[in-house]
Amino acid sequence: MGRNLKPRHKASRRFGENVADTQKSPLTKRSYPSGVHGPKKSFKKVSEYGKQLLEKQKAKAIYGLLEKQFVLTFNRAQKMTGDVNHNLLVLLECRLDNAIFRAGLAPTRRLARQLVNHGHFTVNGVKVDVPSFTVKPGEVIKIKENKIGKGYWKTVLEKIEKVETAGWLSLDHKTLAVTVNSQPNQSDLPKNISTSLIVDFYSR
């Protein structure tokens, strides 16, 4: 299974925003791309194609996807009824690793992906260790009984009252079970991704 192992802070500096989910942003000290020519690059004119490519790359960086994974998600969005722009963001948000992140059970998507890969979760009682698994309304994500209360999860339980959960999910603070109430609505979707540019990129 492919993983995006590129440096997250370099990506944040390249896109001009924190795409690593970390509280400490590298842009605080260096608000320009990495490299000796970084400050000059920030003033470079970008073509329309360049803008489309950059937006696609940014979305991949935010969700930690490789090109093939992202293309497969885009193709699924095209086959769904409704607006492709909306469908793409919904599919990305409904990934299991992202749902774990949005529920507040992991501070970053990268850690959420690692927890899923290591088999920490079940969905409706069935073990799922595939981060790209699409969660659906009515499904319940639970931590395996042999994991809860140990190691990382012991720390989470101690801080769970301060955790913020996305509106389309609900979190049981005692059992850490996550219920998918609905698909993300427009207000739940990220505002920092211009999907129209991504659609234009793949429509060339």
Q: What average pLDDT does range 117-135 have in this prediction? A: 96
Q: What is the CATH number of domain 8-92+191-202?
A: 1.10.1050.10
Residues 159, 175: Cα–Cα separation, whole Å: 13
pLDDT of 31 reads 58
List pLDDT tens digits, range 71-112.
Answer: 999 999 999 999 999 999 999 999 999 999 999 999 999 999
Q: Tell me, yes or no, if the pTM score tops 0.85.
A: no
Predicted confidence (pLDDT) per residue in 104-121, tens digit: 999 999 999 999 999 999
- The pairing of strands 140-143 and 178-180 is antiparallel
**Three-state SS for 92?**
helix
Amino acid at 96: L
pLDDT at position 10: 57
pLDDT tops 90 at residue 159: no
- Say which residue, 191 or 6, is predicted with more confidence: 191
| CATH code assigned to 95-182 | 3.10.290.10
Q: Where are the domains of the chain?
A: 8-92+191-202, 95-182
Residue 126 belongs to what H/E stretch?
Answer: strand 126-127
